[in-house]
Structure 1
Amino acid sequence: MQEELCDLKVHINGQQIFFLNQRILSMFSGRLRKMIKHDKRRGQIKVLGLKIADFPGGADGFELATRFCYNNGRIQMSPSNVCLLHSSALSLEMTEEVAACNLLSQAETFLDGLFYWTWRDVLNSLKSCEPFLDAADGSGLLQRLISALLGKISANSEVPLMAATTTPFASSSSSSSPDTPGFRLSSSTPAKTPESIKPCFSREWWFDDLTVLHPKIIEKLMTTLGAYGRDNRNLVLTRFLLHYLKTSMQKSGGGEGAGAECRLDYSGLADTAVHGVVLMGRAAFSCRGLFWVLRVVSGLGLSKDCRSKLERLMGSMLDQATLDDLLVSGHDGGVYDVNLVLRLLRVFVSSDEGGVPLQRMKKVGRLVDKYLGEISPDQNLKVSKFLGVAESLPDSARDCFDGVYRALDIYLESHTSLSLEERSRLCRCLNYEKLTLEACKDLAKSPRIPPRSAVQALASQRVKLQDGAEEAAESPVAVVAYHRGVTSPEFTGEKEELRHNLQMMQWRVAELEKVCREMRGQMSRIAKSGKLVISSPSHLNGRGLPRLC
């Protein structure tokens, strides 16, 4: 009796076996009917065995279809299972040609009321399609659900989704509270928070709900709206994609270490988001916002072309960046991504054909000095990378090289195994003439600085002091006042002040010459003893050299 009831064995996707009745299944499934007839022609087999691969929804979908058959063509449908039933019916050919009021026609009838479903019902149906996305897409079911979803978004938003342009406007009142960093506030009303972190839009009400969907569904949604890849010119959709990518990576624990499969799933969406960001540029995004975008998409298989476009935009706005912006985590063994900063600096230096304005260049110079100080202790930072950052800007970008020297000193202290040649190479990034006397004194005393470099630094200070003394002596004010014999109190005071300054500078020159002589003596002793120890001049006894001014 058991053999008569279960005379069909069906193996679904190589995962699960179902024991069924041939007659009941053949009444509703055209595909199974053909397969049973074909196998029966081979001989008398009591229990037929069939194998079905790539069945949509796997064992769950096949089980629902068999329940429909065993229940004499009836089953309770809901938004959460109708997509699975529809795809199973197509796969098993459960059409009207096989049986009246078959599973496929019932599913189609249920889907006719799609536009009357609630927002949550449409989302649940889309979510249920994830195990069989290709089948749902091929049948047009996915497109129908996405159209219904977009219809509800448009019906519940003040500004239609397709009406969004690349120019930022005020957000609709239906949006939730803003918390996405990095967008500019385009309103003329004074902002309470800094422009660099204030969003130009609040999150739309539907942003969070759509983050539960598979990336292929989001790709289909963007394609439906004509905003996928290079066609993305929509500010709202760009903001949504960034929010979606950020949330998805947080849920999966992804980022730089995301797997190859994860990067493949999200790479198209990452490229689409970046195309929108680059198109809108600084009109909608601050420099900090662009660094935030880079952090979101960098671990998602972003194409080289899109990364290059984003970095060009970031580099052109580098003077608006902060130290925190530049401290992007490294992924090649280093603590920070120094290669990124080097690329941004190259873009910045060459961003204006007529040359970068000096004020902007100096601002970046101060930023680079801070960055050098931050990355110097990194044990994996190579000499070439340190020099690349230190020498990335022209000398005009710095009025003083004390910041570079401090970073260099930290680097030498952290990398004790450097050879004399490497330490000498590092010192070449310093402009000794732009060092203060205090920095020069510290450099001369440091055992980590090669002696030749220390002497060069002191010599440059001596020349600078001599030039300053000569310039003061030839001052037009002093000459005119002396020649004309002006006796007014005002000119007399100026003449006395100039004479005093000249005497002070002459004393400083003599003091520095004495230091240089002692340094040469110490270098001679170093050469004889082979020890690199430079003590401070005996007559100073810890007293620093006087400042120039």
Structure 2
Amino acid sequence: MLIERVVKSMILRKFDHVIVSRFLLYYQKSKFFTATSDEKLNVVEMVINVLYNLDPGAVSCKSLFGLLRVTLSLNVSKCSKNKLENMIGSQLDQATLDNLLVPSPYGINYLYDVNLVLRFLKAFLRGETYQVTSIQMMKVASLIDLYIAEIAPDPSLKPSKFLALATALPDSARDSYDELYHAMDMYLEVHAGLSEAEKLKICCGLNYEKLSAEVCILLSQNKKFPSKSAARALISQQFKLKSLLHGTPSSKSFTDSPYSPNIDVRNREKKDKTSEQVLMYSGKLDPSADNEKLRAHLQGMQCRVMELEKVCRKMQRKMEKITKSKVSRHSHARSLPKLCS
């Protein structure tokens, strides 16, 4: 094609690759007004092949998705599709939710093309021409959480595809799994007929340690989730509470002080022991028991957690007051004049 020779000449003369990409996309759009289906196919494949050899980032993510939508109505070769998907994958952190909502191809029951998004993710993680940064990873994780929430109500979406999306990114990509929990909640509501085993597989996509306290409580009371997941959420919350009790700065500074009274030390030890008992109690829960009975246990544990949190706060305030009082008395005693010499 003449246009292909022109573009190659531009590249040899060291034209800016951004200008080359814009020229190609303009040519593709203008040519489509009068071209036949076969001509459109040839033009699109030529444009994709040339763009693929340009500098990464020479063409915007928005333009690549525009090109992708053009290919949906054409019988583009697998090689050209792979090149386009790899280019999009390399810029996935710049994509929007609307970009990803591509309708499924003919013959697929899913509302949106989930397999396409999974291929984007593979290309992104592969990072052939760049090094994926933590910021990019977190942006993509937020985008995928939005996408999962959007497709969760699709009654045709299989559990395996939902889980594949939920687990496609490494755990480090998410600081919080709250959004993923809400998407799972929606999915389980729509797919109420799933077995307990299928629900458990889906819940494997959650990291309970990265769920907020509010979501842990919601999960523990959510009958759509399997009993084992509810128990794990509560146990995770117990460990967080135990860490809080052992690692509170104010309590540590007080117990290190020479003015710490024995009674408060005993109270703290007693409270730590109580926390450990709660953990042991939660570990003894039988997930195979009747669901209602288990949920009653979990609610009892939740109340215990709230009580311990209140006790912890009261003790912190009490210890701070005692510390201030002791320090004040000590400094006052030092300042008294000697009455006898």
Scaled by the length of structure 2, what TM-score is found? 0.71
Equivalent position amino acid for 2:214 in 1? E
Change (3 A) 1:522 1:301: closer
SS in 2 for 1:416: coil
Contact 1:515 1:537 in 2 (8 A): no
Maintained 8 Å contact 1:326/1:371: yes
- Aligned pairs (5 A) from 1:234-383: 235-245=22-32, 247=33, 264-331=38-105, 332-351=108-127, 356-383=132-159
- Assess if the C-alpha contact under 8 Å between 1:423 and 1:450 holds in 2: yes
Structure 1 residues 368 and 161: alpha-carbon distance in aligned structure 2, compared to 1, 3 A threshold:
closer
Q: Percent identity?
A: 31
Please state if 1:397 is matched with 2:159.
Answer: no
Look up the SS of the partner of 1:280 in the other structure. coil
Which stretch of the first structure deviates more once superposed, 298-307 or 383-392?
Answer: 298-307
Q: What is residue 443 of structure 1 aligned with on the other side? A: 219
Gaps of 5+ in 2: 314-341
Distance 1:508 1:349 in 2: 45
Offset at 1:461? Answer: 1.9
- The answer on whether the counterparts of 1:167 and 1:283 sit within 8 Å (CA) in structure 2 is no
Quote the residue 2:206 is aligned against: 430
Kept in 2, the 8 Å contact 1:291–1:325? The answer is yes
Asked if residue 461 in structure 1 is aligned to residue 237 in structure 2, the reply is: yes
CA contact (8 A) 1:333 1:380 kept: yes
Q: Summarize deviations over 1:268-298 as a string: whole Å, max 9, x none.
A: 2220121232233544322122111111123
Partner Cα separation in structure 1 for residue 148 and residue 201 of structure 2: 16
Aligned 8 A contact 1:315 1:344 in 2: yes
Return the letter of the residue paired with 1:462.
Answer: Q
Q: TM-score, normalised by structure 1?
A: 0.46
- Aligned amino acid, residue 432 of structure 1: Y
The residue aligned with 1:219 is none
Q: By how many angstroms is 1:433 displaced?
A: 0.9
Aligned partners of 1:278, 1:409: CA distance in 2, in Å?
A: 40
Q: Is the 8 A contact 2:64 2:88 kept in 1?
A: yes
Q: 1:264 Cα deviation (Å)?
A: 4.5
Q: 1:311 to 1:465 in 2, by over 3 A?
A: same
- The CA distance in 2 between the partners of 1:507 and 1:439, in whole Å, is 26
- Residues 244 and 334 (structure 1 numbering): CA distance in 2 closer, same or farther, change over 3 Å? farther
How far apart are residue 239 of structure 1 and its match? 2.4
Q: 2-side partners of 1:234 and 1:521: how far apart?
A: 62
**Are the counterparts in 2 of residues 412 and 448 from structure 1 also a CA contact under 8 Å?**
yes
Per the alignment, residue 418 of structure 1 pairs with: 194
User: Aligned pairs, how many?
Assistant: 296
CA shift, 1:421, in A, is: 1.1
- CA 1:520 to 1:325, structure 2 compared with 1: closer, same or farther past 3 Å? same
* Conserved? CA contact 1:400–1:435, under 8 Å: yes
Cross-structure match for 2:299 = 537
Deviations 1:351-405 (A, max 9, x none): 1699632222112111111111111111121111111111011110011111111
Aligned amino acid, residue 325 of structure 1? N
Amino acid at match of 1:236: F
Shift of 1:469: 2.3
How far apart in 2 are the matches of 1:278 and 1:445? 51
SS of the aligned residue for 1:456 comes to helix
Higher relative contact order (CA 8 A, sep 6+): 2
Structure exhibiting the larger radius of gyration computed from Cα positions:
1
Taking the aligned partners of 1:479 and 1:539, their CA distance within structure 2 comes to 28
Letter in 1 for 2:207: N
5+ long unaligned stretches in structure 1 = 1-142, 151-159, 170-185, 187-199, 201-232, 250-261, 487-498
